[in-house]
Every structure is written in structure tokens, then in C-alpha cells.
Structure 1
């Protein structure tokens, strides 16, 4: 039985933790390394992250120490772990930490490495218009996401799939890939293969400002940006409801290129200008209009765009920038 240290923090790591913890025939999760509780909400109450919550439910020992601390290697050795499985842990590990486990540290990354190394591979693949992505299990080295690969799996990106939806799907598929890869490694049936050299896109983190929607580009580009930024950090724009009014923030949660076979779709619409029908709300781009399906106005709950438009009493001057 392989003794595994699991390292992770967000919800996307939970399927892999559960997969390893519940396969007691092949794995023993000896400890879970995760980030300390963080203040959340208006009251700034300390709340455990999803991985810690799952670990406590599974009755697994939790380690919240910082790997940069001098005592961490000894704490790691005390677990008896042979190998580490890492999913979105979010900490850089020193070489002495990487060398501390006999079989090394292996990361589940949500792209087809070496493409999209970095913090936001799923978001960047959607924004770039990729039709395929996947998951990669690789051995962690000091250079970012550059270690030798154990295994990969491939999935198609849905035409209307958001980053959150795709990430959830990859988290489930990836949990099986990670478990199978570690088992094959333990059985000496797989060997890491070095990544090919070359210039590849880096998946840098998407900031709130990056998520500000541009409407002066073709509709397909607006659609990709919104899907890539959903749910985090959330695609948004400034709504100017009428001349002279103060702009408010409008989050676009779901949208799609307008169906040009619909006779109600406005044929000429300036970028950022809004037209609301009885059942549809369209906004102009550099090409055809974009239909806004679900939005969240500042201080309001998420709702269908048509319901929002009726309540907002938009006039002909409404636009987003």
C-alpha cells in the first residue's frame, strides 16, 4: 500500500483527495497538507478551506505548517509518506522539501503540458479559443510546471462551457488520472517523460481588471472572455443607464453570440450598446450582437437578463463600457 501525503486547498482538489482516501486497497493518505484557515465574509471569521473540511470529514491528519519553515522537513518525515499528491496547493516548495519524500511530489495540472503552465490554465485555454484541453500528472521540480510527465488525459471544451464548469469536469477526470498514475508508479509500470522544449503560452492569473469586458472586439472574443472569467474573478462592465447618471457595475454571468436567424435581433448595434426585447437582451460588439442570458447588477441577486432589463427600465441610451 502506497503511503501518500496529499497537498491542496480549494474545492477543485477535493475529488482527488476523496479518490485517494477512499481507495484503501492501494493508498493510505497519511496526512493532508493545506493552507491555514482564512478570514471570510463580512465578519472576517476564520473558515477552513474545502480540502481541510474534506480531510476532517475523512478523519485524516491535517498539516497547516508553512513548507518554508525549518522544521517542516522533520514534520514531513514523521508522516511516513512515500510520495506526495498535489492539486492546487498554491505554495512554492524548496528543493530540500521536494527531496524529502522517497518517490517525490506529483502534481495534477489542468492543461496539456507543456502548454499553459501557470496559475490559470483552464481560463486561458478558453480565452484563447482552444477546443481541446486536459489534465497532466507530472513530477514537481523547482521550475514552474516543467517537471517530467507521468500521464495525460484529453477532453473537448464545450462550445458554451465556462471556466468553472470545465474545471469541475477536469477535477473529476483528473482525480482518476492521478490515482491511476500513482498506482502505476508504485508498481513500476510507468516512468516520467521529460516535457518537450520550446516556447509555450503561460497561463498567468486573471485579475479583476482583466475581467472587464471589451465590446470593441468580435463577438467570439467577447464570448470567450466572459466564459473564461466565469465564475472567478467574474466578467463585468460599467453600465451607463442614461445620460448624466452615475455608472454601476454589471456582472455578466452567462452570454452567447446572438442567433442571427431570430428576426428580433438588432442588425446594427454599436459596441456596448444595449437593446432589450421581451425575452432577450442584446449588446453590441465589433461584429454581431451578443445575447446576455444571466446577469448580476450591483447590489442585486443573479437573474435572467430579460428580468433585469425590465426592472432596470433601460432606455435607448443604455450601454456598457
Structure 2
């Protein structure tokens, strides 16, 4: 089939590479416009745009996919299908109707669970033991289109959102190509999603990532891992924000929520249940470092409090 791939961030690269290496003809790539990056705020092409240029494939960067000029160019490419991974813009009906077999999205959850922008983060935060990825045909309603295929992945006890998303991106790339193969062969039929089991996964904002030390240790562990690497879990000390890497639930005696217990080699924080041991931290204006080094640098002592 003739396909036009749509995607933007690095997580879409395994799927783009898999589609490019498949028997299907990659005739174009759609991605978000160049965006400011770094201290100089220089415009930088998306990871998908950069890889497409390396592959020698035409790149389309519409301000919005409803743009008539973009749709005219897409129509001229006569795609049979448009595989999509984390493109980042809502597709209007006029664009959805251009490819013969529609836009085929790779979504990182087992639908209808976790529809939305942050399925992996919400799955980790909720404590799911198994998650996965699903291919489906995009419709107007968010992540509600009929599904083609699914893969599952066990969630590991120390997974961060970055770890889990990386594995799903690799495994999902194969699923996406298999879906395109099945559509071409006529052997794959899309099935409507069940009406039960729907859950939503909206984007996690910086405000959502603030740790509440009055929560149980297990909940805090899940929150921090779900927010790693982005937007990054955080707390405050002396009125300044401190970013937190993954923590470890400790078997030490309980401490009052938010209160620190500082030793030479470790920093523990009280929660509603067991304490957690801090891993790596990043104070405002400082480099990331082990919690014990940070504690020495700011002369923290047992009895101090986080989240003030």
C-alpha cells in the first residue's frame, strides 16, 4: 500500500522505521511544525521530521491538518492508509476521509482503557499490572475508533513512564506494520470497542506532579514513576522546587508525612504509611544528584520537612 506516516516525538521513530522497512511504500510523512528549543529558542524540526529527511521522504508540516493546502498535497499523494503514532493534532473529518483505509493509530494502551494523551503515565499511576498497545481507525471521538490489533506488556515494579513507553514503542511498531499488512490483504477486520471499561488519560500537568506526602508510600512511588521523565515529580524545600527521581518504598519505622530522616548515605521521607527513600533529586538551579549529596549540600538534618 501507499502510506503517509504521521507522528512527531521520538517515541514515534520505531514505528516510522518499521513502516519504512516494510513492503509498503512510504510516500510522505506528516509532523508538527518546527518548534523553539533550547536556551536560544531556535526552531528545531521534530524527531520524526529529522528521520524522514534522512530517509529521503517528503515531509509535510501543516500548522493544522484542516489547512486546505495541506489536504490538497496529501490528496495528491493518494495514500491507501495513514499510520499514526503520537502526531499531536486533532484530525478533521475532511482529512480523515482522504486515505482509502483511513488513519490507523497506534495507541499505547489496551483500548478502551486509557483513552487520551497520557495512557502510559495513567496506567502506571493507577497501578496496572498489564498494559499494552492497540491499533485502531481514527474517528472524530477521542480514541474511540474500531480496533484492529492489540499487544500486551507486563508492567515491571521499577518501570518509569519512559521505560514502559520505550518498550511499547518498539513492540507497537511491529503491531502497526502487521495491521497494515492485514488491511492490505483483506484479512483484518476492525471491531468496535466495547462500551464498558472506558477510562480517560488526560495530559499530566506540572501541577499534577506535585507529591502529597500525606498519601501512602505505594501511591507516591507510582506517582513519581508515572511522572518520570515528564513532567517530573516534585516537592518543595525552603520555598523552592525540588524535582524527584524514582523513590524506593522502605521497611523503616514510620515517620510523620513530609518529615526527613537523613543519614550519611540516604534520605528518607515520611508518608501516610512507610517512609520512602529518595533516589536522585534536582534542586532549583542545580544539577541532578543523589539525594544524600543534595542533603549534605544544603545541610539537611533529620526532622526537616519537605512540601512546606
1:230 corresponds to which of 219, 228, 231? 228
Q: Partner residue of 2:208?
A: 210
* Residue deviations 1:211-239 (CA, integer Å, cap 9, x gap): 00011011000111101111110000111
Of 173, 184, 187, 2:185 maps to 187
Q: Using the TM superposition, give the Cα deviation of residue 278 of structure 1 relative to its aligned residue in structure 2, in angstroms.
A: 1.9
Residue 279 (structure 2) pairs with residue 293 (structure 1):
yes
Q: Gaps spanning 5+ residues in structure 2: where? A: none
Moved more, 197-206 or 60-69: 197-206
Q: Name the structure 1 match of 2:2.
A: 3
**Correspondence for 1:250 among 242, 250, 253:** 242
3-state SS of 1:36 partner: coil
**d(CA) in 2 for partners of 1:213, 1:132:** 25
Q: Normalization by structure 1: what TM-score?
A: 0.93
Matched, 1:53 2:50: yes
Is the 8 Å Cα contact of residues 114 and 196 (structure 1) preserved in structure 2? yes
Q: For residue 210 of structure 1, give the secondary structure of its aligned residue in structure 2.
A: helix
Instruction: Report the secondary structure of 1:251's partner residue.
Output: strand
Distance 2:236 2:192 in 1: 46
2-structure distance, mates of 1:284, 1:252: 15
Structure 1 residues 236 and 47: CA distance shift in structure 2, 3 A? same
**Per-residue deviation, 1:199:** 5.4
* Root-mean-square deviation over aligned CA pairs: 1.1
For residue 249 of structure 1, give the secondary structure of its aligned residue in structure 2.
Answer: strand
CA contact (8 A) 1:296 1:303 kept: yes
Deviations 1:114-139 (A, max 9, x none): 01001110000111111110000000
Quick one: distance in 2 between partners of 1:281 and 1:109?
A: 38
Report Cα offsets for 1:223-272 as digits up to 9, x if no partner. 111011111100001113xxxxxx211111121101x2xxxx3x131111
1:83 aligns with one of 78, 81, 84 = 81
Runs (4+) off by over 6 Å? none
1:277: how far off?
1.4
CA contact (8 A) 2:112 2:197 kept: no
Shift of 1:73: 2.5
Equivalent in the alignment of 1:243: none
Tell me the number of residue pairs that the alignment of Structure 1 and Structure 2 aligns. 306
- Where 2:65 maps in the other structure, the secondary structure is coil
CA distance in 2, matches of 1:199, 1:163: 22
Q: Structure 1, unaligned stretches of length 5 or more?
A: 241-246
Q: Could you say if the C-alpha distance between residues 17 and 233 of structure 1 is closer, same or farther in structure 2, counting changes exceeding 3 Å? A: same
1:308 to 289, 294, 300: 294
Q: Is the 8 A contact 1:160 1:256 kept in 2?
A: no
TM-score, scaled to structure 2: 0.97
> Does the CA contact (< 8 Å) of 2:268 and 2:277 recur in 1?
yes
> Deviations 1:180-201 (Å, cap 9, x if unpaired)?
1111111111110110013522
2:18 aligned partner: 19
Pairwise CA distance, 1:152 = 0.2
Aligned to 1:33: 30
